[in-house]
Every structure is written in structure tokens, then in C-alpha cells.
Structure 1
Amino acid sequence: MSTIEQLQNYLVVQTSTDKLTAWIQFNIADDSFSCSSSQLEEFLKSHGVSHGILPEVLMKIAQQPSSYFHSQTVVAQGEAPVNGIDGSIRFSYDMNEDEYKPVETEGGKIDFKEVTQLKNVNRGQLIAEKVKATSGTDGMAVTGDSLPCKNGKEAHFKVGKNVVVNPEQTAMYAAIDGLISITDKNKINVFPVFEVNGDVDYKVGNIDFVGTVVIRGNVLTGFRVRSSGDIRIVGGVEGAILESDGSIEISGGVLASNKGYIKAGKNVKCSFIQDGNVIASEDVLVSQSIMHSSVRAGRNVICSGAKGLIVGGNVQAGERVVARTIGNTMSTATILEVGVRPELRSELSELRTQIKRNMDNMDKTDKALNLLDHMAAAGQLPPDKMAMRIKLTSTKRAAAEELAQAKERVLEIERSLEDTDRAKVDVVNVIYGGTKIVIGRYTRFIKDTTQRVSFRYSEGDIVMGTYV
């Protein structure tokens, strides 16, 4: 009997599923067992383990086999593959939105009067550079097989307006004097800045501009400001219409009297909102209060300054609502909804209306077809009624397909309502009775005044815990 066959009676060789580790284990504890380290190595190779063998371990096993009778012993270790690092875009300015946070002074008050430093660039100035991805390093299994790595993915410039990229595709430059702005889908642009040194009133008129708009005054009721970049307003906003593909910053507040609306492709930041309608694809950040308003944010609504009050109206957020105080002692009806993007809630409502309308129309079509079918069965269907019958049959088929699609989309949205893991309502100070909290498809009415609480979804219900 060969040495390998003899060792086979005593030892078992095992390999990890990732083929990076091999170990042996004795299946017979026999004090008469003996072998050399070279014989152990040959035994391992006969079981396909050829790389990363640990000679010092084999030596110890050969010298004192009894010490290893009752345990698994690692005898070979491969090298794991090292993946490359993805490439990135490095800007000449810090493009992080955090730099736009207002200054908090003593006593927790927020100072919105400090002018934000705009990211101005001159024609030909470097805007961004591409950081190359790095290659990975292949690993090696204990079997001697190569373990392939993943190389980093190269980053690509998302070219917007008024920018140029060099022939090597490694650097981006400004094509005009203006302001760097990142808009929807992370496109990089340079927009010229339109500045109004005063109010938006009859002297200025409505503004529809391809760049960033800076208004050093107020926007009065009835006027419209449209921007492909950001909108920055040093004063306040009345019942006006503001639309921006980027962010909207209002140093003063919004006193809208339920007129107009504010809509941003990214964030809306202001000191207060009263009787307003505000929509942001990302966050709504308010330092003082949101009163009797409709506020919708794709991610978060945060109202946590020194006052931090939300009372009345309807506040919707895809993920989280944070406020110091919610509701009031008069139990004013206040609705907070989190856990689904506001546009999906609107779409769901529209789909349900559409489904009801389609079903009503199909019911009328069915009644008309039944009458025509009876006429056809009696041989009393004139040519014009025959044409009507064909048209109604086609209409019914198209309506049935539209109804099926609408129902499928409703199911898809309702399934998304179940994904409420990140949805929360945080109350920093106090929440009053009269508040309704909706998380996904679940609702909870607040009856009693409660302090420092956090609401979230858990196991089919909205639970209340201590706010941390």
C-alpha cells in the first residue's frame, strides 16, 4: 500500500467554497500514526491542493500528530482577488450641497442673510477632471486556479450646457463665463447668472431663464420665475410660481395665501412656509415653521430650527419628516405621510380614478354590445349597426388592455408601499392630538400630547419609540 493510500485512511482534506482555504482533519486518532511533512504535501497535492501550502504547519503536524487529532487544521491559504477602484469625477469646486447650510447663531437662531458664494468660472477654466479607475489583481485558489478580479469602472462626464471636454476625455472646461451647476441626472453645466437687484414685480415681469437666477428682493403674487439652474432669493415669496431644475433657496419665507407653487428638481430651503404649495424632488429644509401648507419631498422634510413647527395642512416625504413641534393645543388637523414618494401617491390616486372610469365605460359598452348581439341573432342588424358593433368590440378590447395595465401599475405601487424600512416621523419636542401619521399604507391617529417620540412601521403597524 502506498504512503498516500495509508494517509487516506487517517486524514480527510476539505476545501472552502471560495477555494481560498484548505484544511485537514484526522478521522482516526491513532497514536502510532507517523508521516513526514513531504508525505503530507504529496497527500495534499493528490487531493488537488497545490498552491499556498503552509510548510511550517505540515512540519508541526508531522512532529506532533496527536496535537491535531481533534481539530481542523488550515494547511493551505490562497490569495483573494483584489478588485479595482471605480473612477470618479473630481471638481475644481466642492459641489457638496452641505456648504449651503445657513449659519446657526447663539440660541439656535438661523441667519439666512449671509450671501452664498456662487461657484463662478471664467471661459476656459477647468471645471472637473476625471480620476481614472484602477485595475484589480487576480487571486489564486489553493487548487492553483486563477480567481479573476473585477477592474474598476471608468467614470464618464455627463455633459450639460456651456461646457467642453478635451479630446482625451480627461478634463472638462467652461465654454462661457458663468456658474457651475449640477442639474437633473447629474449633468454638469455652466449657466450665466441672471441677477435681479430688487423685487420681481411689474418692472421686471416674469423670468424664464436658462441659467441660475439670483433675486435680491421679493417675488410678488402672480409672477413666475423659471430656471434651468438654481433660484436664490434674498427676500421672500408671495403667491408666485417658482420652478427650478436645481435647488431653490429663499432667505425669507413663503407667504403664499394658497396661490402659486414652488417646485424644485433638487432641494427647497427657506425660513417658513405659510399657506403654500411646495414640491421638491429631494429635501425641503425649513428653519422656523410650516403652517397650513401642502409640502411634498422625494426624500426628507426637515423643520428643526429653534421653532421647528409643523401645523395644519399635509406634509409628504419619501423617507423622513423631522420637526420640533407637530400640531397645536387646538388639535388642528395635521397630516404627515412618509414611506412612499409623493408623486407615486398622486399617480395611485389618478390610476384609481382611471380604473373606475374605464370600468364604467366598459359597462356601458357591454350593454350596447348585448343589444346589438340580440339584434344580430334575430337577423335585424342593419349595416350601420354592424359597423358600430365592430367599433364597440375594438373599443372594448382596447379598454380592457388599458384597464389591465392600470391595475398592474396599481399593484406595483402598492407593493412599494410595503417598503417602509427607512420611513420615519421624528418629533424632537412635542406632538399634539389631531395629527394623522401615514407610513406606507398604514395610518395612526394621535389623540394625546406626547413628547420626544419617533414613529416608524413595524410588523403591520405604526409603532412609537423614544426619539434619540
Structure 2
Amino acid sequence: MSQSLLKLSKENNTISIHAQPLLEPSKLVERGDIYLQLSAHHGKGLFLFESAIDSAIAILNADKHLSPQAIVIAEQRDASLIVKTAKNNMSASITVIGAYGGRAIDGSLLIAALKQNNIVQGVRKNLLQTLLSKSHQLSSGEKITMQVALGRLPENGKDSVFELLVDDISRRVLKPRELEHDKVDMRDLGELCSVAQGQSLMKRIRATAGIDGYTVLGETLPAKPGEDKPFSFYDGAEVSDYDEDLVIATQPGVPIFKKNGVQVDDALVVKNVSATTGHVNFDGSVVIQGDVKPGMKVTASGSLTVLGFVELAELEAGADITVAKGILGKQSVGDSEYACTIKSGGKITSKFAQYTLLDAKDDICLSHHALHCHITTRGKLSVIDDTKRYGTLSGGYVSVGYSVHALNIGALAGTVTSISAFTNYEHLRKQISDTCRLWDEEKEYLAQMREAQIKLLKIPTNKRPKDLVNKVVESHRLHTANLRRCKESYDKLKEEYIDVLSQVSITAAKRINAGVNCQLEKYALPVSQEHGPSIIRVREQGIELKPL
């Protein structure tokens, strides 16, 4: 095809073809011919109108006379961009489309596009610079998309926390004294913690307000402030006159750490409990500096602390029980009762327990092992030390209100270990069921009120008993309010139950062996083979064991 027959002109950033039939059958125009002509006229890289090119070729190759036409087949285009904001307005991205022979984008164009789309906060300058740099490397029509603005979620405030300022023997049991060369002394637990009058015991760290978040559109996302919790007050301690966030001792004694407060007991201190001293029954706290020998009983209405061993003995306390060195029972014969029993109205903390009945209202924490024990607690069970080197739960029966956490669960020999976790679910479900029953009762009362109202409406206005009308109206208002409260209580209890269920678990930080029978809520899971670090939880599909 002769170039003189193909007339091209460049005006207003476009390239047009003057199309008219060539009437030369042997010289048909092909698409490649058009592309060559475009290259010759610096049309490479321009935006091509492919359908227009097809129309021009059809006219050029027509076998009859047609009126000439000027058809635009290529156009120069500047780089373009599209700004997109996420549905929740927490991020914004820019898509840049490479120029077709025109100008590339510059920084001012990016900024203007963001402002035009109301993206005013969270813009990252470094991301804009990266996008600008990469956009200059785009070929014609090539696209690149980058996130350039990010919102920030609100950071809710933290509730006030209570920091202990004196040591606690139960902490020493779980974290023995550290030695050199990354070793610990499991026997050195320090001396008994006692405090003097006026000594600082607990400090309250105030709640924080939190940090507001924002969207890329500049909308503020308010943070929820933390809750400032008050001290709980117990005997032997009070808030300092000089600092309302500090609790001090009002008498010398042994500190007992409770929820949001401290109690200081004038404790009974004995060296050992044996046949020489006889059984101990004391209204208050008891501290035993040595051991509790076989066959002995110690009862305290307060806390009970034993700095030595407990062997084949009975301990019972209204508050926490701490045994520094360990608890030793003996293997029972047949269905005989345990010869060593520990019952606490608070927590139980010890280094280890063997062939022992442990019963606590709150958590049970053992730092070394629990072997062939009968363990019951309404709280949690932990059999692991702070260094995560020790902690074996093997044999016996375990029933806990919430979660179980141990380093190893079961034994390589396949010792049968029965664990029932989240036993509190029955109590929680009963609360939900009771609330649902009250809700149904209120709905029934309201139905009766509506029937009464319908009957009253059938009575002429001047003959309706005023007292009866007032009584029906007041009853309807009362039961409507009760129904609303029951519904709110039901929704809250159900939400709390689901939240607790999602958190409770049976966790083996290192290994869980075959022979462990697990019960979590109403679901059972027998472990038939050894697993590494594992967690057993309840999910929508039921109970599951997964790697930790």
C-alpha cells in the first residue's frame, strides 16, 4: 500500500485517517499497514479505537465509490487515576492508569484527587511517593493500585489495675528463686512474707481514657474509656491519708491478697503440726513454718500457709491455702477415700500434689505436677511453672469450672486421666433458662392485660370503673417494663455465655498423651494418640483438638 494513498493527520492530540476506497483489488489494506503508518506518525503508545480502525479498513477496501470520511483512530491520553474508599471508610486506595502518549501524573494531581474525594486524614506520604514513582514506570493502559490512606480504630481505655507492693508466698511457689546459668532452686522459696503497720501494700493504677480513632474521611471514632474501679476494703488495711490510690497496713501481720484489696491478718504462727502439737483449729489465719505431719488436721477460718510439706494430712481453710514445698498422699486401695485432703474457700497453691483430694472455690495452681489426684475447683486449674519447664497433670480425675492449662497432660504409659472442664456451664445455662422462663411469664401477663383492655373497651366510656382502668393501665406498664428487662438480661447472659465458651479450653503447652478423656461443656473427646502442643476447645461444629 502506498503511503500517499493513506492520508493521516495529527490534530488536537488525535490521529485521523482520511478513508476512501482505494479501488485496487490487488492492494488490500490490512491492520498491520495501519499500525505501520501510526508508528511513522509517532502514534505508538496512543490509545487506539479498534472499531474505528476496522471501519476505516472496510472503507479503504470497498469495491465501490464511497464518500471520503475522516475517522479518528488514535488518541493521546494523559495518565488517569481513580480514588476508591472502603465501605467502612477506614482506608482509601488510588488506581493509576498509565498514559497513552500523554503526561504522567504528578504529586499535585494525587493530592487534588484525595481532596476531591474528601480523603483528609490518615494519608501516608511515603505511600503516595511510592505510588508516584511506580506510576511513571507504567506502560500505556497499565494499571497499579495502592492503598494510600489508612484510618485508625479507637484504642479503648484500660480499666484501673491493682499492683501489689509486697511479695506473696503463692507467687514464690510458682516462680522459685533464679540461680546463675539459667537455673532455679525449687527449694528456696524465701521466708514468710509479713508486713509492718503503715507499710504500703497495694497501689491502684487509674483507668485510661483511651485514644480516639478516625476514618480517612476525618470522622472521629470515639474510644471507650476504662472503668475506674474502687478498692475493696478488708480488715487490717486502709487507704492512705496522703494518697487515695494507695492501701497501707493498719497493723502488723500476714498480707492476704484479695480482689481489689488486701487483708492483713494477725496470724497464728506454729513451727510444725504433729502429734506433739495436736490438731490446729483457729479462727483466723494460720502460718506453719515447717511441715504438717501424717494424720494431723489443720482448720482455719482465714488463710492457711505451710512453708514445708503436707503429708497424709487434712487442711481446711475459709480463704487461700498455700503449701510451699508440696502435698503427699498415698495410693488408695479400691474405693477407699483419699488419706490426704485439702479444702479451700479460696485458692490452692503448691509446688506439687500426689494422691490427694484438692477442693477449691477459686483457682488451683501447681508449679511442678499433679499425679493421681482428685481435683475439683469452680475456677481454673494450672499445672505449670512460670519458667514453663515443669508441669505434668497425669492420672486421677479433674473437674474445673473453666479452663485447664498444663505443660504435659497424661503419661507416655497411657495412664487414664479424666478431665471435665467448664463445669460451670450448667449453672450459667440455668441462669439463661430461668431468665427465659421469666420472659415467657411476662409475655403471658401482657396477653392477659390485652384481653382485659379489650373487655374494658367494650364497656361505654362513662360506665368504665375508673379504678379498674387505672389498675389495668398500671399493670400493663409494669409488665411491659419487666418484659424489656427480661429480654435485655437474656440477651446479655447469652452473649456472656458465648464469650466464655469461646475462651475456655484444655491446653497442653508441650504434649498431651493417649489415655486422656476430655469433657468440655457437654462434649466429650477421648485422646487416642500422642499430640504435641495442643488446645481443645468448643467451636460451632463441636469439640476440637488443634495444634497450639
State whether structure 2 residue 237 is matched by structure 1 residue 163: yes
Partner deviation per Cα, 1:151-175 (whole Å, 9 max, x = no partner): 5554543333211113552221111
CA distance in 1, matches of 2:111, 2:500: 59
**1:249: which partner in 2?**
323
The alpha carbon displacement at 1:216 in A equals 2.9
Partner deviation per Cα, 1:83-137 (whole Å, 9 max, x = no partner): 65654333322559442235799xxxx9876454233211111222333445555
Give the root-mean-square deviation of aligned CA atoms.
Answer: 5.4
CA distance in 2, matches of 1:136, 1:164: 29
Which of 257, 265, 279 is the equivalent residue of 1:182? 257
CA distance in 2, matches of 1:42, 1:206: 83
Partner deviation per Cα, 1:407-429 (whole Å, 9 max, x = no partner): x9xxx999999769721468969
Instruction: State percent identity of aligned pairs.
Output: 16
State whether structure 2 residue 384 is matched by structure 1 residue 314: no
**2:418: which partner in 1?**
336
Structure exhibiting the larger radius of gyration computed from Cα positions:
2
**Residues 168-247 of structure 1: pairs in structure 2 closer than 5 A:** 168-183=243-258, 185-199=259-273, 203=277, 205-214=279-288, 216-218=290-292, 221=295, 223-232=297-306, 234-247=308-321
Which of 337, 340, 349 is the equivalent residue of 1:268? 349
The alpha carbon displacement at 1:286 in A equals 7.1
Q: Report the 3-state secondary structure (helix = DSSP H, G, I; strand = E; otherwise coil) of the residue aligned with 1:100.
A: helix
CA distance in 2, matches of 1:140, 1:453: 40
Q: Report the 3-state secondary structure (helix = DSSP H, G, I; strand = E; otherwise coil) of the residue aligned with 1:120.
A: coil
Which of 406, 422, 426 is the equivalent residue of 2:505? 422
Instruction: Tell whether the 8 Å contact from 1:338 to 1:425 is kept in structure 2 after alignment.
Output: no
| Between 262-271 and 26-35, the greater mean CA deviation after superposition | 26-35
State whether structure 2 residue 360 is matched by structure 1 residue 285: no
Alpha-carbon spacing, 1:71–1:268, altered in 2? closer, same or farther (3 Å):
same
Alpha-carbon spacing, 1:132–1:226, altered in 2? closer, same or farther (3 Å):
same
Work out the number of aligned pairs and report it: 386
Instruction: Tell whether the 8 Å contact from 1:255 to 1:274 is kept in structure 2 after alignment.
Output: yes
CA distance in 1, matches of 2:537, 2:109: 62
**1:375: which partner in 2?**
none
Alpha-carbon spacing, 1:89–1:416, altered in 2? closer, same or farther (3 Å):
closer
Instruction: Tell whether the 8 Å contact from 1:320 to 1:422 is kept in structure 2 after alignment.
Output: yes
Instruction: Tell whether the 8 Å contact from 1:321 to 1:338 is kept in structure 2 after alignment.
Output: no
Q: Taking CA–CA contacts closer than 8 Å with sequence separation of 6 or more, which of the two structures ends up with the larger relative contact order?
A: 1
CA distance in 2, matches of 1:416, 1:42: 46
Partner deviation per Cα, 1:211-269 (whole Å, 9 max, x = no partner): 35335342664734124234225242435241242233163534385367312322332
The alpha carbon displacement at 1:13 in A equals 2.6
Q: Report the 3-state secondary structure (helix = DSSP H, G, I; strand = E; otherwise coil) of the residue aligned with 1:99.
A: helix
Partner deviation per Cα, 1:12-64 (whole Å, 9 max, x = no partner): 33223454543433579654467876566455434323456678959959x95
| Between 453-462 and 173-182, the greater mean CA deviation after superposition | 453-462
CA distance in 1, matches of 2:365, 2:339: 19
Instruction: Tell whether the 8 Å contact from 1:320 to 1:338 is kept in structure 2 after alignment.
Output: no
Instruction: Tell whether the 8 Å contact from 2:304 to 2:320 is kept in structure 1 after alignment.
Output: yes
**2:374: which partner in 1?**
294
> Please, what TM-score do these two structures have when normalized by structure 2?
0.53
| Between 66-75 and 239-248, the greater mean CA deviation after superposition | 66-75
> Please, what TM-score do these two structures have when normalized by structure 1?
0.60
